[in-house]
Amino acid sequence: MPTAVIYHDTPIASTVEDLTDDPTVVAAESDADVRDHLADADIFVTNPNHWRDDFLDSLSAGTWIQSTSIGYDAFPVDEFADRDVTFTNAETLHDTVVSEHAFALMFALSRRLGPVLDNQRRRDWDRSVGAEMWLWEGTQMTVFGLGNIGESIARRARAFGFEVFGVKRTPSIYSGVLTGDRVVATEQFHELLPETDLLVLTVPLTDETHHAIDASVFSALPDSAVVVNVARGPVVDQDALLAALETGELRGAGLDVFEDEPLPRDSPLWERDDTVVTPHVGGRSEDFAIRFARLFLDNYRRWRDGESLANRIV
């Protein structure tokens, strides 16, 4: 029977075992456990934070790696291709939960939930905070990256009354909820910025998107604009973001991802009233393990039966 080594910080291994006895599951608790078992495994399930490049030494041709995340910039996919290692991500797993998290960040800012919660802990009934709140209805949202998550956000944003525009590398292949005149190519992204009230980032991290959101973007946005990042930290030039917040070029930022993770304790982002920080949990929920286990087992059936794998990258 095939063996799957599962290395993760949620109970995916035990969840898979509860659902089936095929494949055989080895639950790795440490990097050393992975190194001890990976050479004999057929499948390796992990996430970017748990990947170590020296794991490559234990992979043989034909091994399948299933990531629990969408982004795969931490994985050496070119090396996988050279070694005939199959790699799949979890592209369809996070659409709803990440889009809901993006809305949680934007509404936490507009409804000033930071100071409201501070007042709650002090038992301080201070209604003056209401004067600092604002409405999103009728404002322009620009979604930078119209993949599955970006599309999910765009669909929900229309229901909230946003005027939604999107940026896609190849607009001609777009077939979602936005009309053609609302979807622009990456090269036209800056043309949308002066009218953008809320910029939501959902692109993968690539050489092209690294620091795509920089000082020029922040200066082109209105001073009342908010940036929400549920993509990858390095998509944003974090120093430029801090400068824009400090000088009032931006109204606020909702951030689930950062250039350095964990976010250093001395980062000024922790203490800013105009910033909401969450610890890269946009894709998490109480049912994460079971949702992922079902996705994995569906792909496992395909792999076992010689069918094409879903979400295959390599």
Give residue 54's pLDDT: 98
Q: Which of 191, 208, 261, 307 is catalytic?
A: 261
Residue 290 CB contacts under 8 Å (≥ 6 apart), including other chains: 15
Burial class (CB in 10 A: 0-12, 13-18, 19+), 120: exposed
pLDDT tens digits for range 93-116: 999 999 999 999 999 999 999 999
For residue 1, the SS3 value is coil
- Respond yes or no: is residue 187 known to be catalytic: no
Query: What are the backbone angles phi and psi of residue 6, rounded to the nearest 5°?
Result: -120, 120
Q: At what angle do helices 148-159 and 95-110 cross, to 10 degrees?
A: 50
Give residue 79's pLDDT: 97
How far apart (Å, rounded) are the C-alpha atoms in residues 311 and 36?
Answer: 28
Give residue 229's pLDDT: 99
How far apart (Å, rounded) are the C-alpha atoms in residues 306 and 220?
Answer: 51
The owner of tokens 């980062």 is: 267
pLDDT tens digits for range 268-283: 999 999 999 999 999 9
314 residues of the chain, pLDDT tens digit each: 999 999 999 999 999 999 999 999 999 999 999 999 999 999 999 999 999 999 999 999 999 999 999 999 999 999 999 999 999 999 999 999 999 999 999 999 999 999 999 999 999 999 999 999 999 999 999 999 999 999 999 999 999 999 999 999 999 999 999 999 999 999 999 999 999 999 999 999 999 999 999 999 999 999 999 999 999 999 999 999 999 999 999 999 999 999 999 999 999 999 999 999 999 999 999 999 999 999 999 999 999 999 999 999 99
For residue 8, the SS3 value is coil
Give residue 29's pLDDT: 98
Task: Say how many CA atoms lie within 13 Å of 254 toward its Cβ.
Answer: 28
* pTM check: above 0.85: yes
For residue 199, the SS3 value is strand
Q: Which of 91, 232, 249, 251 is catalytic?
A: 232
For residue 73, the SS3 value is coil
Domains assigned to the chain: 3-93+285-304 (3.40.50.720), 95-277 (3.40.50.720)
Query: Among residues 192, 197, 193, which one has the least CA distance to residue 134?
Result: 197
- Respond yes or no: is residue 272 known to be catalytic: no
- Respond yes or no: is residue 232 known to be catalytic: yes
Task: Give the pair of three-digit tokens for residue 12.
Answer: 């995916």
Give residue 88's pLDDT: 98
Instruction: Provide the 10 A C-beta neighbour count for residue 289.
Output: 20
